[in-house]
Structure 1
Amino acid sequence: MTAPAEGHINDGPSAPSPVDAAAALSSSPTNSSTQPPSIPSQIDMEPRSSHDTRIDYDGQPSPRSDPRPLDQTQSHESRSSHDSHHDDHHGTTVAPTPDSRTEAKVKLSDQTNYLPRKQVILVFAGLSCALFIALLDQTIVSTALPTITRAFGAGADASWLSTSYLLTSTAVCPLYGRFSDIFGRKVCMVFSLSLFLVGSILCSAAQSMTQLIVFRAIAGVGGGGIITLVMVIVSDVVSLRERGTYQGVLGMVVAISNSGGPLVGGALASANWRLCFIIAIPIIVLALVAVILLLPLKKVEGSVRSKLAKIDYLGVALVLAGTVLMLLGLNWGGQTFPWTDARVLGTLISGGVLYLVFAYVEAKVVPLPLVPMRLFRNRTVASVLVQTACSGGIFYLLLFFVPQYTQVVKGFSGILAGVCLIPLMALQAVTSTAAGILVSKTGRYKAFIVGGFAIFSVGVGLLALLDVDTPTGEVIGFLILAGFGAGGTLQTTLVAAQNAVDRKDLAVVTSTRNFTRLFGGVLALAASYTILNNSVRNHLRGVDESVIRQVISDPTSIRTGPFSAQLREELLAAYVAAFRNVFYFGLAMILVAFLLTLFFLEELPLDKADDKQRKEEGKQWIEERKSKKQARKQGHDVEAAPAAAGRGEK
């Protein structure tokens, strides 16, 4: 629930512009199910022998008759077995494609590092803190926005306070996956946390609305990385079969931060709005210390120069420019300018063209693409990405149109309307945790996804039957049903996608999924506001145009404006009918997701042949680190003893 756009409801979580709303969507956690294979961190143009047992970056093993995992017999003396390669594509590998052949020229290090349970819990605690504050920061501004705009006297720029964070956090989402492959998960996480910390400090000290908007954009660059990298790192340190439990806990963190952000923001803003940003500082410092001290991820080999040479600079420029243009167009359309305005059409068309160029460049030009286009030829991955866009869209609708319904039709305050969403978030957290645990226990996930979307569709379908006189208890009951279904799909869809690809694609699939969910939600929300406004106009054809413009600009004026009882009743009826159409649109999206899951999602075994070996290697790796630290300490003590003795003689 983020800040509403200017001219809309401004005392609660409703009626934001599509882009202002999007911060809440990126908070849903993603998970990962496979890890990139270990390959040297340098460009290798030499052809391989037909008997080479290593797996190239395209995921294709060299000819080999033995079906067992590769490199399991490699000597520890030549190199650690913890860096060996394993093909876990479950038989879904396809013939090399043009983009996969170019990727094979670039080698990346395997960062899979399954840790003992005690170490995982320590790491997970730090990551959860980082995720919590990054998500809290997305929604904490919503209820503090009126206070901030009054403090600076800049109401006209208020919507950009949320938009700036969203633009940067969304635009960088596809970058962090590949960057973490190149530079290492820990390096990228420390960078994201540090940037988020700097942005929060600057926000707390901002002296103008312009400064605050710029500083929020800086924090967004860090926040977008935190949300993606937390999911990637969890997948690096926990096996796929055991990951559901940890993902479920992350789902609970998401629910608490989503529902708690507006409440915390309102409470802090009543004392001092700067506290909304100051509160992030100690938590992010704690997370940063935890990541630095407790996260023992393997380093990525190679010089800084060789790593910089692997970056897809053209792809970075195209996806950043395309995303910013598309989000600006969606934010302006139907809110600031009409959809037919040249500025809206220009940004949307330009953004779409840049996306098409980006797809061509990623598939045909660059050796190591940010988003390999071959992933979209995997039917499970492609179906999950569409499902994610659909579920992200309906998540938006519930998050913003249900509160708007309770405010406009029931007369609730903004805070009370936000409280009505707590049952939705609570059930989503509980079922997400339960689904994750059950997936870990049973090794099955498709049934949870199909069942989740089915229940989700029932809940949304019931919301499409709302009327002026619908009791609030029924509304909450429908939300509980929707939350129950949504929780069953939140984590499990990513399990399916990640389980359908090789380990080397873990990070890029995770970041692509995050981006798809967020962008799909913004797109759906923009369409929903168009449906809402057009439906209101169609039902009020005989009403004066000035009245229509007033209620569309501020729907709460239906109850507070100088309207007759008959006109007020007509206005309420028009808005109820419009809300129904919006939820019918949401129902259509959920049904699309349900059908895609039913017919295109392939369920594959979660257990990998090398899981046990990798767990043992993880334990050995931890012990080796401890031994090296102990040896260095003892060596330091040995060197210090003679020096101390010499000083004593003097």
Structure 2
Amino acid sequence: MADTEKPDTTLQETVTVEDGVPVGNPVFSEDEPATVYDVQWRTLMAILSLSMANCCAAIANTTNTIIRSQIADLGDSALSSWVANSNLLVTLAFGPVLGSLSDRFGKRWFIIVASIFGIVGSVISGSAHKTTTIIAGNVLTGIANAGCIMGIPAAQEVTPNRLRPWTMGFSQALASAAVIAGTLGAGAFVKYQTWRWSYYLNAFVYGTTTVLVAAFYHPPPPGLRRQRTSVGELLARVDYPGILLLTGSIASLLIGLTWGGTTYAWNAKQVLATLIVGCVGLVVFGLYEWKGTANGIFDHRMFQSRNFPILLFVCIVDGMLLLGVNVLFAQEIASTFTTDSVKIATILTPFLATSAFGCLPAGIIMARTKSYRTLLVACLLWCSLFTGLMALLNENRLSWAYAFSALFGCGTAVTTVIPVVALALSVPSFLLGTAGTISVSCRALGGIVGITIFTAIYNNKMGAALPADVGAVLGQAGLSDLIPAVLEALATQNPAALAAVPGLPASMIPTVAAAQATANSYSWKYVWIAISVIVAANAIVSCFLQPVANKMNNHVESALEVSDVRDKQMGGKL
């Protein structure tokens, strides 16, 4: 049944309302301040504090690069995919919900409480003696990240529209630097101490964020609160059916994706049931948000231009590229070049470094030109080219891995910054929390889907190539009867396992290892081809984005500096 309550139309220039739903293409006017609004130390310290919240969500994922060490220590290899996905699953499910609530009740306490959850979750994971305990701790850090990702829209709210690219560039550069430090630190901890210190480092970052946000982020009431001062009225407008449908559907879908091909076969009834329930639930959620309510999680005012849905797709693919590649490239390095944790982190560093140091220049270019579409499309095509060239890697081409990963890292710096800023300038500023967390959740979804798809591609290719290549060399040596035992030894990923195969001559071990390396390179090749094609498709979709130059003005949604703007916002006037 359609929502008969009249939707919020504050800040709206022209809109036709039918059955409580805005019709057509509403345009929102966000007036510039009547007096000069100067960005001073209060805003700068708040941006730093909120950028630290963004760092929490970023650095929490660096522990995924050492999952092999955690599983080797605690066992339960069948649960390895849950170590990574338990965090992302909860972040994805709860991010948009908390974002929607924060637009009504404010972001400050959501971020502070979330950071405390992150401290507790990191300590639990770091002190775990069972893999299931790590997963439980990661669930708590997933909740924490669902709140901490609000640092991105909150930082843009306190910044005048025209300066938002600078803010986003700085925030993502700081987060990327944290990822580099976290990745290198995780590798060093594994080699010289224990993987547990990687989680304790995360706890320290969450704790620092808690203190900084509490000290320096004191925003006025959010825009929707200023429109309706009654808490009861705001609570009545919360999209409870949408929250239940979205969280339940995403949880069911991602549980199926995580189970598939690991805990159960893809055609197992447990996997099929959860996938079907999740997909049907998302369809019902979409229909409800479209026809059942105008001011739900997917508030209709966010669709005032086609940019919002297009940029959500861009964010999903960027998640595949950034999160998926970060996890899978580490696995390829371990299977192709080295199992030394520090060396793995070192090989990852060129990609992470160019991704980090390119963020601020990307924001500066957008701020000065007030243009973004050409730059975004060009960088997506650049990423497509060099991810495609990564398909040429093998165990003798380590220098190629350094070069190609560094080059497509330059492109991911742009795809990390530009879409989020463009999305924030394409929706009403009083819905930034909802829009921002949805975009970050789409990145998390892209990471999970990407890891699932690309892992399935690798496993399918490896499952066919490895027996064929190993069988060929053993067959030529007249040792075909050893094929099952040799394949079982290779599956352990223990270099010494081949020497323990009865009847296998020591002289054959290098030949078998070479056959395994050939099958490995062949399988990773198709993963990179798939990534290249998906990124190229993203570039084509991005050609249809609309300009946002007219929105890059001096409007500030959440004023922190002492000014007439803040006085109005604190007094409940717009």
What is the TM-score with the length of structure 1 in the denominator? 0.73
| Aligned-residue offset at 1:393 | 1.3
Corresponding residue for residue 477 of structure 2: none
Cα distance change on mapping 1:264 and 1:189 into 2, 3 Å: same
Counterpart Cα distance in 2 of 1:553 and 1:99: 61
Amino acid at match of 2:210: L
Aligned partner (choices 167, 177, 184) of residue 89 of structure 2: 167
1:536 touches 1:578 (CA, 8 Å); kept in 2?
A: yes
1:196/1:223 contact within 8 Å kept:
yes
- 1:293 maps to 2:215: yes
Q: 1:287 to 1:532 in 2, by over 3 A?
A: closer
Q: 2:330 aligns with which of 387, 399, 403?
A: 403
- Alignment partners' CA distance in 1, 2:16 and 2:569: 40
Residue 603 (str. 1) matches residue 547 (str. 2):
yes
SS in 1 for 2:358: helix
Select 2:275's aligned residue among 348, 361, 382.
348
What SS class does the counterpart of residue 335 from structure 1 fall into? coil
Q: Secondary structure at 2:549's aligned position in 1?
A: coil
1:574 counterpart = 2:531:
no
Q: Is the 8 A contact 1:116 1:619 kept in 2?
A: no
SS in 2 for 1:611: coil
Give the Cα–Cα distance (whole angstroms) in 2 for the partners of residues 122 and 557 of structure 1: 54
Which residue in 2 is equivalent to 1:230?
A: 151
> What residue in structure 1 maps to residue 414 of structure 2?
488
Query: Does residue 462 of structure 1 match 2:389?
Result: yes
Once residues 581 and 219 of structure 1 are traced to their aligned partners in structure 2, the CA distance between those partners, rounded to angstroms, is 33
Q: Mark the CA change 1:253 to 1:546 in structure 2 (over 3 Å): closer, same or farther.
A: farther
8 Å CA contact 2:252–2:275 kept in 1: the answer is yes
What secondary structure, in the 3-state scheme, does the structure 2 residue paired with 1:601 have? coil
Amino acid at match of 1:219: T
Identical residues among aligned pairs (%):
22
Aligned counterpart, 1:585: 530
Q: 1:515 to 1:561 in 2, by over 3 A?
A: farther
Bigger shift: residues 317-326 or 126-135: 126-135
Aligned to 2:116: 194
Which runs of structure 2 are paired with 1:108-123 in the superposition (5 Å)? 116-123=39-46
Alpha-carbon distance between aligned partners in 2 of 1:357 and 1:526, rounded to the nearest angstrom? 24
Indicate the SS of the match to 2:66. Answer: coil
Looking at structure 2, the residues matched to 412 and 144 of structure 1 have their Cα atoms a distance apart, in angstroms, of 12
Query: What letter is aligned with 2:271?
Result: V
Residue type at the aligned position of 2:168: Q
**C-alpha separation between the residues in 1 aligned to 2:243 and 2:130?**
31
Match runs of 1:218-367 below 5 Å: 218-227=140-149, 229-268=150-189, 270-271=192-193, 275-299=197-221, 300=225, 302-366=229-293
Q: Is the 8 A contact 1:385 1:516 kept in 2?
A: yes
Task: Choose 1 or 2 for highest CA Rg.
Answer: 1
Q: Counterparts of 1:115 and 1:358 in 2: how far apart (Å)?
A: 43
2: distance between equivalents of 1:324 and 1:604? 34
Name the amino acid aligned to 1:185: K
How many angstroms does 1:607 deviate by? 4.6
- Where do 5+ consecutive residues of structure 2 fail to align? 24-29, 472-482, 502-507
Partner amino acid for 2:334? Q
- State whether structure 2 residue 450 is matched by structure 1 residue 524: yes
Q: Which residue of 2 aligns with 1:535?
A: 461
Give the distance between the partners of 2:268 and 2:20, measured in 1 at CA. 38
Cα distance in 1 for partners of 2:424, 2:343 equals 39
**Unmatched tracts of structure 1, length 5 or more:** 1-42, 48-54, 63-93, 103-108, 627-650
Aligned twin of 1:73: none
- What is the rounded CA distance, in whole Å, between the counterparts of 2:113 and 2:96 in structure 1? 16
Q: How does 1:126-205 map to 2 (within 5 A)?
A: 126-140=49-63, 142-143=65-66, 146=69, 150=73, 157=79, 159-203=81-125
Greater percentage in helix: 2
Residues 242 and 527 from structure 1, CA distance in 2 versus in 1: closer, same or farther, beyond 3 angstroms?
A: same
Q: Deviation of residue 448 (structure 1)? A: 1.6
- Residue in 2 aligned with 1:429? 356
| C-alpha distance in structure 2 between counterparts of 1:448 and 1:540, whole Å | 42
2:368: which partner in 1?
Answer: 441
Which residue is 1:512 aligned to? 438
**Cα displacement (A) at 1:515:** 1.3
Supply the AA of the counterpart residue of 2:211.
V
| TM norm structure 2 | 0.82
Say if 1:380 and 1:497, in contact at 8 Å, map to a contact too: yes
Q: 1:579 Cα shift?
A: 1.0
Residues of 2 paired with 1:286 and 1:203: CA distance?
19
Q: Are 2:82 and 2:258, in contact at CA under 8 Å, matched by a contact in 1?
A: no
Q: Secondary structure at the match of 2:46?
A: helix
Query: Deviation at 1:424?
Result: 0.6
Cα offset, 1:122, TM superposition: 1.1
Q: Distance in 2 between matches of 1:394 and 1:597?
A: 16
| Aligned residue pair count | 535
- Shift of residue 559 of structure 1? 8.4
CA contact 1:389–1:521 (8 Å) conserved in 2: yes
Residues 86-125 of structure 1 show CA distances to partners (whole Å, capped at 9, x for unaligned) of: xxxxxxxx865767449xxxxxx99x99762322111122
Between the aligned partners of 1:415 and 1:516, the Cα distance in structure 2 is 31
In the TM superposition, residue 453 of structure 1 has moved relative to its aligned partner by: 1.0
Change (3 A) 1:479 1:342: same
Contact 1:248 1:434 in 2 (8 A): yes
